[in-house]
Structure 1
């Protein structure tokens, strides 16, 4: 634990550019799901480039991520992303000090594309290599994007300090995690079945919402924002709280509930636009309401164990939802007693999968002189709690 504390202090001071005599530059790759990403990040918290090539057309065609189609798209897009990342950063490989990639968790075949790109470049150019935990990267993004000081030179109260809570909401995960240090995490709540992101995608398809170039989640959010009034279908069964009082998530029940409402009313052909709007809004309310309830339980658990947390860092693709952001801020205000827990949201473009967060999450290990062997393999299943025992 003492080593973790030392590393945490080093990382946070490095974030303020106090310890470095020169800038360390990382080229990073990410391909854990359906976005092909490459970025260049420096140790003084500069994002020199952040390239994301999405597969929206393929996701819409297949109704979700098709691994075989996704890996072919990654293979076609990764050289383009890498070239663009270096070009936009105005550097070449001679200026790169280290190479990072998403090792896991994620879809195994997709992870292999970023891994192979990183390993090949590292070996050919004799660069140190580090594989990064995807969810750790989300949890640490706010340390990259949040100013440590205010314009008057005072410490920024919004800059996360360990320990803090992290809410990770994406297509693969729904977790509340206690971040004790840069590589020490405790999962307080996780989903027992589907993630919130996957459930939102399925409901978006069930309600036949047009995606266009957006993700299914963004399409659902925009759909719910329409000014038209929603009207409940003729037969409607209200959503019930999911596992009330239990520090765990379950989203398959919400997806099944929408399916049941459609079935009771004879299918989508009997649904008007007003019906679809009403069901979409009530579903979104239930999905976010579950997050609020579990967050309150997590804060109560921290208080019971005398763990003082001052920040909640929100990451993952679902964190880009503006309604969720509003509700989380309101939830934290209502929960505050002696001291306020501050919600910290990275910029929306860094909430979804990206390589900039991967480069930043590797930085503390590079600066400590660590690296991985070129024979490293991906880990499609990888608990964030295992990080403490790995290093």
Structure 2
């Protein structure tokens, strides 16, 4: 079964052809970083406009790279939500029009469900996560810690009470006036923090601070011992510190890098704490956990992966270690391959949506089980 999938929930225009045997025949991602960098973040009007310009070419490329004609497709999938309403509508309208014109079945997909199920696309069955598992979904729009009980049943254990970790990364990156590059502001901060101003420190970790640096703010540790996230205070601490120094122009490169490292260490430290709390909650409720799936754009951060791996080694039994499952970076950030794969079980069951299906810009993942 060959499915054409479309994704346009935020600022990446994506199209992919995915097969039910886990083959990805094409995976096209057209980014908008150059459009939004001048606005300091995603500007909905320009995002919609750029999706409209890019979507026809993304679909055309996806079919060409898959070496298929449109008539050879077995179905069309698209991101139904959550996301920016106008952006979602571009992918939805394209998917509905193609499905109707080709007389193909249609399936709308939950964006965060697709992130959670990505490891099943890239892993052979004996290495795939085992239900139930914990999944940490971290992106520019979400910070979710879920108990995945099946491919449609998710229980919310923790979410953010203010802003997502990805948004906080983006704000600190802008405060430090980092250049986005090809991968966006969050990736720019990770890259900046991993560099060194001192040749002798070149191989030290991304959180190592120069020994002379005693002026850094103390990073807050919000909501201790609670299964909930809060990231607004972290970027606010960086902002207050920069303001106290007289502005970013008065902060030298060494101190800027130290700020980036201190923020990143605190941000990921909060993820570690909540994962440990979730493992304790599962243990208290006699739920055996063998896997932690981490996905979403922020999951492409290599330092995050390293810290979480160390965390799991400390907090799981040596005879039954909890496995960390992260998709490759290209499948952590938004892509259509994950949308196609998340739709596959429904296509195989002939469970399709009507062409008039409505978007869900706000969509609680726990509602999927009631479908």
* TM-score normalized by the length of structure 2: 0.95
1:239 aligns with 2:219: yes
Equivalent position to 1:334, from 314, 319, 325 = 314
1:98 aligns with 2:78: no
1:114 aligns with 2:83: no
User: 1:351 maps to what in 2?
Assistant: 332
For residues 267 and 214 of structure 2, the distance between their equivalents in structure 1, rounded to whole angstroms, comes to 22
1:277 aligns with 2:257: yes
User: 1:386 maps to what in 2?
Assistant: 367
For residues 61 and 213 of structure 1, the distance between their equivalents in structure 2, rounded to whole angstroms, comes to 14
Runs (4+) of structure 1 exceeding 4 A deviation are 229-235
Contact 2:220 2:234 in 1 (8 A): no
User: 1:28 maps to what in 2?
Assistant: 5
Q: How much does 1:161 deviate?
A: 1.2
Deviation string for 1:145-166 (max 9, x for gaps)?
0122xxxxxxx3x321111111
Contact 2:175 2:239 in 1 (8 A): yes
Deviation string for 1:222-247 (max 9, x for gaps)?
10111215557774321121111000
Deviation string for 1:116-136 (max 9, x for gaps)?
000000001100000000000
Alignment RMSD, CA only? 1.1
Q: How much does 1:210 deviate?
A: 1.4
**Structure-to-structure mapping, 1:1-391, within 5 angstroms:** 24-148=1-125, 156=126, 158-229=127-198, 231=210, 235-337=215-317, 339-390=320-371
Deviation string for 1:59-113 (max 9, x for gaps)?
2111100000000000000000000000000001121001000000000000000
For residues 285 and 235 of structure 1, the distance between their equivalents in structure 2, rounded to whole angstroms, comes to 17
For residues 267 and 175 of structure 1, the distance between their equivalents in structure 2, rounded to whole angstroms, comes to 33
SS at match of 2:80: strand
Unaligned segments of structure 1, at least 5 residues: 1-23, 149-155
For residues 383 and 213 of structure 1, the distance between their equivalents in structure 2, rounded to whole angstroms, comes to 31
Contact 1:104 1:380 in 2 (8 A): yes
Q: How much does 1:292 deviate?
A: 0.2
Aligned length: 359
Unaligned segments of structure 2, at least 5 residues: 199-208
Q: 208-217 or 309-318, which moves further after superposition?
A: 208-217
For residues 245 and 185 of structure 1, the distance between their equivalents in structure 2, rounded to whole angstroms, comes to 22
Deviation string for 1:172-227 (max 9, x for gaps)?
00011111001000010100010000010000000111112231011111101112
Deviation string for 1:237-279 (max 9, x for gaps)?
2112111100000001101111111111111121000010010
